[in-house]
Amino acid sequence: MNKRIIQLRKVLTDKKLDGVLITSRPNTLYLSGFPGSASTIFISQKRAIFLTDFRYIEFSKERCGDSYEVMLYEKKPLVFLLEQIKNDKISKVGFEDQIVSYASYLEMSEQLKGIELISLKDDITKLRLVKEDREIETIQKAVDIADQAFTHILNYIKVGISEIDIAAEIEHFMRKNGAEKQSFDSIVASGKRSSLPHGHASNKLIESGDGITMDFGAIYNGYCSDMTRTVFIGNPEQKILDIYETVLKAQLTAEAAVKKGKTGVEIDKIARDIIYNAGYEGMFGHGLGHGVGIEVHEEPRLSVAGNTILDNGMVVTVEPGIYVPNYGGVRIEDMVVVDDDLPNVLTSSTKELIIL
Ligand SMILES: [Mn+2]
């Protein structure tokens, strides 16, 4: 954990700040390893203070007591903090302007009297972009749990059960196999509903001929996974199988192009060109992928707005889709680690056409 504090202190130097105040859960978890809510971190060149309330004091000492002065506040954390740092000559403090609500900002300003709050912009996000080996190992475990759930669900899906049955079975399986919880509400969209890119599982029953798009992930040790597969049951129409072939081609081609030095825009365009040239222009209305880590959607983005230059150790999804309104859709999603040449594909579930 010390390494991350050191990195943050470089940000302090670069931005001429006396300290930073971190209050969002993804960033407090990243900087301290403490997974609970109700924590506030203050880091200056001299001090690293971790504030929490009585519910978490013991656990947080265990988690980050080596790197932080772990302190218990009783009422207002920032009033307490100000008291702790009053002799430290702190006047300019960075805060998470892209996350903190306006109401919280006003409260911070009120409570931190005499301190000027400065926008950190994406300084913390940048620290989280490239994953350490240990983080990638943890993410791989989260990915493995989801892969196992996919294998399991193939034996469970049958005509007559509902989308909610499938989502509940996936989630139950993941929890029983090591997941803290799911990364997000599972998407199960079948038949015509599969044209909804983010169709949450409904009461719709699975019918013969349906395509079933399942998008889900597990959280393991604070890190997320995210995968999507579309499978078919009975005798699907040739038209949807052709769509599957196009999405698979786009997925494989774009995935193989992910490497250090490319931008998200470039990778997105590879998949988009394949899909549009096959006659599905306008039917791939989302970005190709996104970073995954402590948050299931984080930087960098693989999309028309993804200007970050990819670097080794970044973890991203590659998830093209085609959605034909009132007909159906297909999406295939893997997670990969950016490398010098071919990416390290973390997701191991087959992408070959599956007809149950
Ligand atoms: Mn995703």
CA of 290 to the centre of ligand 1 (A): 7
Annotate 28-51 with three-state secondary structure: HHHHHCCCCCCEEEEEECCCEEEE
Task: For CA atoms 168, 320, 122, 261, give the dihedral sign.
Answer: positive
* Distance of CA 247 from the midpoint of ligand 1 (Å): 15
- Tell me the backbone φ, ψ of residue 34, rounded to 5 degrees: -85, 120
Closest residue by Cα to residue 204 from 190, 187, 185, 186: 190
The correct answer on CATH 3.55.40.20 for the domain covering 2-128 is no
Specify the pLDDT at position 1. Answer: 53
pLDDT digit of tens for each residue in the chain (356 aa)? 589 999 999 999 999 999 999 999 999 999 999 988 779 999 999 999 999 998 889 999 999 999 999 999 988 899 999 999 999 999 999 999 999 999 999 999 999 989 999 999 999 989 999 999 999 999 999 999 999 999 999 999 999 999 999 999 999 999 999 999 999 999 999 999 999 888 899 999 999 999 999 999 999 999 999 999 999 999 999 999 999 999 999 999 999 999 999 999 999 999 999 999 999 999 999 999 999 999 999 999 999 999 999 999 999 999 999 999 999 999 999 999 999 999 999 999 999 999 99
Q: What is the pLDDT of residue 137?
A: 98
State the pTM of this model: 0.94
Q: Give the pLDDT of residue 315.
A: 98
Q: What per-residue confidence (pLDDT) applies to 35?
A: 87
With the CA atoms of 174, 129, 134 and 152 taken in that order, what torsion angle do they form, in degrees rounded to the nearest 10?
20
- Please state, in angstroms and rounded to a whole number, the distance separating the CA atoms of residues 289 and 141: 20
Centroid of ligand 1 to alpha carbon of 224 (angstroms):
10
- Ligand 1 mean position, distance from CA 22 (Å): 26
DSSP 82-120: HHHTTTS---EEEE-TTTS-HHHHHHHHHHSTT-EEEE-
**For residue 34, how far is its CA from the centre of ligand 1 (angstroms)?**
25
Domain edges within the chain: 2-128, 133-345
How far apart, in whole angstroms, are the C-alpha atoms of residue 115 and residue 304? 39
**133-345 has the same fold as 2-128:** no
Q: Quick one: pLDDT at residue 199?
A: 84
Query: 162: CA distance to ligand 1 center in Å?
Result: 23
For residue 265, which phi and psi values (nearest 5 degrees)? Answer: -60, -45
What are residue 212's phi and psi, to 5 degrees?
Answer: -130, 110
What pLDDT does residue 8 have? 94
CA of 332 to the centre of ligand 1 (A): 10
Instruction: Tell me the CATH number of domain 133-345, given options 3.90.230.10, 3.40.50.300, 1.20.1330.10, 2.102.10.10.
Output: 3.90.230.10
pLDDT at 32: 93
Distance 111 CA to ligand 1 centre (A): 39
pLDDT for 120 equals: 95
DSSP secondary structure string for all residues of 233-269: -SS--HHHHHHHHHHHHHHHHHHHH--TT-BHHHHHH
